[in-house]
């Protein structure tokens, strides 16, 4: 009797909220607002302009595994160094989601649109989802393997499968074993169950990211589960969009590339000449550095993880010692206040 072939499961985008879309012509009509909008609330709140004085992610390759890329977008000029389509549609982004995630990471500081979290990093784009935001796990697995092969330092995955898969597990953990950083969106299923995180975000070895609003509170749509590591901005986020446009979206899909961008800043800083007491060799090392940015490194809950990230404190040498960050106590948490209030409390200690 012939052996049945394993089923190629589906992987898809989490449902995101699209608040507004501006095509290129609409952008021209709103030219007076362009300068004001170039810094999103997230970059302003996290004080990334201060961080950019030290590092802008230069020399770091971030892989976006998503719906492709608008490679001709004026805010992404020169950002893409490698691109490959695994869907058969071609690399062009027919959905917009992939271009949006790419812009959150790497939109250039070029006087156009917005500025990404790591505006001088390089993008490796693997199109693993089609224009409808769907694909097969075999495409995702091939994209992960390819991203590692071409030298991506960080893999950003704002997608999910409902069930685990042996090949997905192999590919993700092979990337981790090769010293790559893997950042995953938690998903947008809210508190519908005890654990609503999809795969690969449910793998405890990756960096799993929930979303928060401008006050640092967890977004209602953000998935919950013990694998949540941190929260990042994920509500009403402007970024690049297909066909040269811009769009404002909400979802953990937006939060994950923010953390991928922060990871690029950390790696770039630690690869500069000089001695570093805490070299970053793998995903676990990077997690510990992110833990130093976290509002609550000694506290954890399934909605917030260790809380919002405060990169300005880390990069401006106002972070907790790493030994304190490693002393993690998992237990019942308290309500997270605003980012600014938490930052003031830390500086007062």
CB atoms within 10 A of CB 47: 18
Report yes or no: 76 and 105 within 8 Å, Cβ to Cβ: no
Helix H or strand E segment including 323: helix 322-326
CB atoms within 10 A of CB 337: 16
| Catalytic-role residue among 253, 285, 289, 306 | 253
Cα–Cα distances (Å) from 279 to 213, 259, 275, in that order, read 32, 19, 9
Is 205 among the residues known to form the active site? no
Pairing relationship of beta strands 246-250 and 17-22 according to DSSP bridges: antiparallel
Ramachandran sector of residue 77 (left: φ over 0; alpha: ψ -120 to 50; beta: rest): beta
CA–CA dist 284, 176 (Å, integer): 9
**Long-range contacts from 171-174, C-beta under 8 angstroms, 24+ separation:** 171/140, 171/141, 171/144, 171/145, 172/144, 172/200, 172/203, 172/205, 172/206, 173/203, 173/205, 174/144, 174/145, 174/148
Report yes or no: 84 and 126 within 8 Å, Cβ to Cβ: yes
Report yes or no: 134 and 12 within 8 Å, Cβ to Cβ: yes
Is 145 among the residues known to form the active site? no
Bridge partner list, 69 = 92
59 backbone dihedrals φ, ψ, rounded to 5°: 85, 0
| Catalytic-role residue among 73, 97, 217, 306 | 97
CA–CA dist 263, 244 (Å, integer): 27
Report yes or no: 187 and 198 within 8 Å, Cβ to Cβ: yes
Is 253 among the residues known to form the active site? yes
**Hey, which residues are catalytic here?**
66, 97, 253
């Amino acid at each position: 009797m012939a052996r049945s072939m394993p089923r190629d499961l589906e992987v898809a985008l989490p449902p995101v909220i699209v608040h507004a879309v501006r095509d290129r012509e609409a952008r021209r009509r709103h030219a007076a607002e362009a300068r004001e909008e170039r810094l999103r609330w997230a970059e302003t709140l996290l004080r990334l302009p201060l961080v950019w004085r030290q590092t802008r992610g230069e020399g770091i390759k971030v892989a976006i595994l998503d719906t492709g890329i608008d490679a001709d977008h004026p805010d992404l000029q020169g950002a893409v160094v490698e691109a490959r389509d695994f869907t058969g549609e071609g690399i062009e982004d027919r959905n917009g989601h992939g271009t949006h995630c790419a812009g959150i990471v790497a939109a250039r500081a070029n006087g156009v649109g917005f500025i990404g979290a790591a505006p001088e990093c390089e993008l490796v784009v693997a199109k693993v989802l089609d224009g409808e935001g769907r694909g097969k796990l075999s495409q995702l697995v091939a994209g992960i393997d390819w991203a590692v092969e071409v030298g991506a330092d960080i893999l950003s995955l704002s997608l999910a499968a409902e069930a685990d898969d042996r090949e997905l597990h192999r590919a993700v953990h092979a990337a981790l074993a090769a010293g790559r950083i893997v950042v995953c969106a938690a998903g947008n299923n809210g508190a519908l169950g005890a654990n609503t995180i999809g795969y690969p975000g449910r793998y405890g070895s990756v960096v799993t990211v929930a979303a928060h609003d401008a006050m640092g509170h967890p977004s209602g749509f953000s998935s919950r589960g013990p694998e949540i590591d941190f929260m990042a901005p994920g509500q009403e986020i402007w970024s690049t969009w297909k066909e040269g446009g811009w769009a404002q979206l909400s979802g953990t899909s937006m939060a994950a590339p923010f953390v991928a961008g922060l990871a690029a800043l950390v790696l770039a800083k630690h690869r500069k000449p000089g001695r570093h007491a805490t070299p970053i060799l793998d995903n676990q090392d990077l997690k510990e550095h992110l833990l130093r940015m976290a509002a609550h490194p000694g506290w954890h809950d399934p909605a917030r993880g260790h809380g919002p990230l405060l990169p300005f404190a880390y990069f401006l040498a106002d972070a907790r010692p790493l030994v304190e960050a490693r002393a993690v106590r998992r237990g019942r948490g308290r309500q997270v206040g605003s980012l600014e209030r938490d930052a003031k409390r830390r500086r007062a200690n």
